[in-house]
Amino acid sequence: MKLNKGDVIETLALPSTQGDTFDIKDLAGKKAIVTFYRFATCPFCNLRINEFTKRYRELGDNFQVIAIFDSPLDFLIKSTKKHNAPFKILADENFDYFKKYDVEQSAWKFLIGSTLGFFRLLKAFSKGYIPMQMKGSMRTVPVDILINEDGTIERAYYAKNTTDHLSFDEVKTFSMG
């Protein structure tokens, strides 16, 4: 089921890299962005996690960032610990929620993203985000979901290619509004 404005994510419970289990109900009373990423060592995804980690304070105290990867938890912990992220990073190893919420798999959008994102790829490589090992899909097309304090979706953005996301400034504007 593709998510839309006004929908509510009723169920979403996954293990986090912090050793606990996140439940979507934990967001009650807070705004949030929930993002479905690709595999744990994806250079583009790690660049995005790096940006959110560095700029997290700009989003305010009543805002949560939830990052979901399609990788095994142990591999995700190892791959993302360098970020020391102040938010939840979750493992959906069996792709359960990716399937439930129609997160697309596309070889074509992977090729487009790799071509259009060439300079971002170079930036990611320069920061050391080089996928020496992969566990997960290269063809996953990200989804950014903005959720209001009452749990309703304000915006569900199904990306145009594998490097596409809502801009940080749009997320920041939402978090403060």
Domain 26-176 has CATH 3.40.30.10: yes
- Residue 122: predicted pLDDT: 85
pLDDT at 102: 97
Distance separating alpha carbons of residues 116 and 88, to the nearest angstrom: 29
Q: What is the pLDDT of residues 86-143, one digit of tens each?
A: 999 999 999 999 999 999 999 999 999 989 998 888 888 888 888 888 888 889 999 9
Kindly report the three-state secondary structure assignment for every residue of the chain: CCCCCCCECCCCEEEECCCCEEEHHHHCCCEEEEEECCCCCCHHHHHHHHHHHHHHHHHCCCEEEEEEECCCHHHHHHHHHHHCCCCEEEECCCCHHHHHCCCCECHHHHHHHHHHCHHHHHHHHHCCCCCCCCCCCCCECCEEEEECCCCEEEEEEECCCCCCCCCHHHHHHHHHC
Domains in the chain: boundaries: 26-176
What type of residue sits at position 124? A
1-57 confidence digits (pLDDT tens): 999 999 999 999 999 999 999 999 999 999 999 999 999 999 999 999 999 999 999
Rounded Cα distance between 84 and 30, Å, is 22
Phi, psi angle pair for 59, to nearest 5° = -85, -10
User: pTM of the full predicted structure?
Assistant: 0.94
Structure tokens, 75: 């591999």
Residue type present at position 131: P
Residue 133: Cβ within 10 Å count: 10
Which pairs count as long-range contacts for 114-123, CB under 8 Å and 24+ apart, including other chains? Answer: 114/162, 114/163, 116/161, 116/163, 117/44, 117/161, 117/162, 117/163, 120/44, 120/47, 120/163, 121/43, 121/44, 123/47
